[in-house]
Structure 1
């Protein structure tokens, strides 16, 4: 096991494109860290730099106590799992697992020990004589994980390993990866564009956009206190409602947001910085923090669609020109085209600077 440290790591391609802008953060020994963000954000580039498959333009990258900028991939004590399984089709599971070990000159007894250990850890012990074509996608991905596992590396690198699996298999293999990490306690760096994978797997998450680190924290801290508009909008499904307007306050109505098209949206009784009033601001509210209510002081919205998804319902609303999504427990709701009263949970609101997109801190009062 080993700690991984990025210190001002930068990647610039020959055409001048900057893929990573000075990333600096640590991945602790034994931690499962997830790198997440949209396509082209730099997450796979960071992983490939750890693997030694991309040169580092500036900064230093350390694995353990050793700077590895100029260390060959084979000498970094890492193992990588790609999104395509890359199994040898003519080899059995046992042969696929053993192949890399034999190339490195390990003895027969050591190879057998490691192969058997990986097979048992991943539930492959009964499949060692099978060829990849006789296995499901989830089983083949487990073999790919096993091929990395037998290396007994200091750091595991996983590059979107579940992207080729269907939703049901993604869930089961994701659980297996989490269980494997708990069992091994090995440092793992996991790259994905899927926020569900990130939130369920990561002990901490690095959120990236356009080659820049936006925020690093635990999954729930990111969800509950996003540092900026990008993080707030990226994490959460359905996405956070973003309301742009100007804050107003009165002794009668309490705090309200005057939306761009005119209507006021009551936000409840809050104590906020006077400096926020009269200037453009973005208020974020998660769909679960909007709930049906006919109480005085709440607002009404037109129902545009109702999406039952089993244990909850997503309600698409419109307040003036502002679209909103409300997440509720199963219950009778007005039909599309009808109006529904909506209450906001004041203490759960998020406030962002409309110009910089940065979070504005406040204490619920």
Structure 2
């Protein structure tokens, strides 16, 4: 197990495009950190810099306390699992697992031991004599993970390893990777655009956008206290509702949303200031049986039943609003639906710079 340290790591291409503006954070030995963000945010570029597949324009990158900026990938003692599996089609599973060790002239007995251990751990012992074309997508992904596993590296790097799998296989492989990490206690850096993967796998999440690190924290802390409008709108499915309004301090402090209003916490905003109020879909509670609190009413436009719950898509004075409700709550499309909101569950953001405003 080894730690990974990034200090003002930056990547600028020859055409002037900034892929990673400045990344500074520490990945502890044995930690699983997920880099998450939309396509083009710089997460894969950052992973490739850790691997040595992309040069570093500026800053320092260290693995196990050693600066590795100028080290070749083979000298960094890392193993990478790619999105497209990258298996040799003419080799059997056993040969794919052993190939890297053969290049390093590992003794035959040691190769056999490591291949056997990895195959047992991943449940692919029956596949060792097959070639990649004879495997399912999930089996190929297990082989790709196994090939990294036999290396026994200092750091595992996984670049969107589940994106080619269907939903059921993704869930199974998420469980597999989490179990594997617990068993090995290895340092892992995992890249994904899928927030569910990020939330369920990561000890900590690094949220990125446009080459900038937006927030680093545990999944639930980020979910409960997003640092800015981007994080609030990105993390969560459905995303946090973001409602634009204006501060009114005449009487009880509130945020005016035209025909509705929400209470204003003790935040440093003057009367008349613009503000964005965030509320999670699950924090909108139908007033039928809801406890007292702030109340708003919106027009129902679409009901999305997904089995164990429903998503209500509503219109609040021209602003979209989504509520997560029990499946038995099914008002008619076009009706006005009233919700209670616990004021303590509201979030406030400055629309000028997008930053969170705390009391």
TM-score, with length taken from structure 2: 0.96
Q: After TM superposition, list the pairs within 5 Å mapping 1:106-121 onto structure 2.
A: 106-121=106-121
Task: Name the residue aligned to 2:338.
Answer: 341
Q: After alignment, is 347-356 or 295-304 more displaced?
A: 295-304
| Displacement after TM superposition at 1:273 (Å) | 3.2
CA contact (8 A) 2:92 2:132 kept: yes
| Displacement after TM superposition at 1:276 (Å) | 4.2
Flag the 1:296–1:214 CA change in 2: closer, same or farther, 3 A: closer
Flag the 1:4–1:200 CA change in 2: closer, same or farther, 3 A: same
Three-state SS of the structure 2 residue aligned to 1:283 is strand
Q: Deviations over 1:38-72 (max 9, x none)?
A: 11111111110111111101111000121001111
Three-state SS of the structure 1 residue aligned to 2:269 is helix
Q: After TM superposition, list the pairs within 5 Å mapping 1:268-279 onto structure 2.
A: 268=263, 271-273=265-267, 275-279=269-273
Structure 1: stretches of 5+ with no match in the other structure: none
Task: Name the residue aligned to 2:239.
Answer: 239
| Displacement after TM superposition at 1:86 (Å) | 1.2
| Displacement after TM superposition at 1:263 (Å) | 1.9
Task: Name the residue aligned to 2:4.
Answer: 4
- Aligned mates of 2:319, 2:260 — CA distance in 1: 11
Q: Deviations over 1:127-159 (max 9, x none)?
A: 211221221100100000000000000000000
Task: Name the residue aligned to 1:122.
Answer: 122
- Aligned mates of 2:298, 2:253 — CA distance in 1: 18
Flag the 1:9–1:332 CA change in 2: closer, same or farther, 3 A: closer
Q: After alignment, is 302-311 or 240-249 more displaced?
A: 240-249
- Aligned mates of 1:7, 1:199 — CA distance in 2: 25
CA contact (8 A) 2:283 2:341 kept: yes
Structure 2: stretches of 5+ with no match in the other structure: none
Q: After alignment, is 329-338 or 115-124 more displaced?
A: 329-338
Task: Name the residue aligned to 1:205.
Answer: 205
Flag the 1:274–1:66 CA change in 2: closer, same or farther, 3 A: closer
Task: Name the residue aligned to 1:257.
Answer: 255
Task: Name the residue aligned to 2:191.
Answer: 191
| Displacement after TM superposition at 1:248 (Å) | 2.3
| Displacement after TM superposition at 1:296 (Å) | 9.1
Three-state SS of the structure 2 residue aligned to 1:359 is coil
Q: After TM superposition, list the pairs within 5 Å mapping 1:354-365 onto structure 2.
A: 354-362=351-359
Flag the 1:236–1:112 CA change in 2: closer, same or farther, 3 A: same
Q: CA RMSD in A?
A: 1.5
CA contact (8 A) 2:350 2:357 kept: yes
| Displacement after TM superposition at 1:324 (Å) | 0.4
Q: How many residues align?
A: 356
| Displacement after TM superposition at 1:272 (Å) | 1.6
1:286 to 261, 280, 284: 280
Q: After TM superposition, list the pairs within 5 Å mapping 1:77-92 onto structure 2.
A: 77-92=77-92
- Aligned mates of 1:263, 1:60 — CA distance in 2: 53
| Displacement after TM superposition at 1:298 (Å) | 2.2
Task: Name the residue aligned to 1:27.
Answer: 27
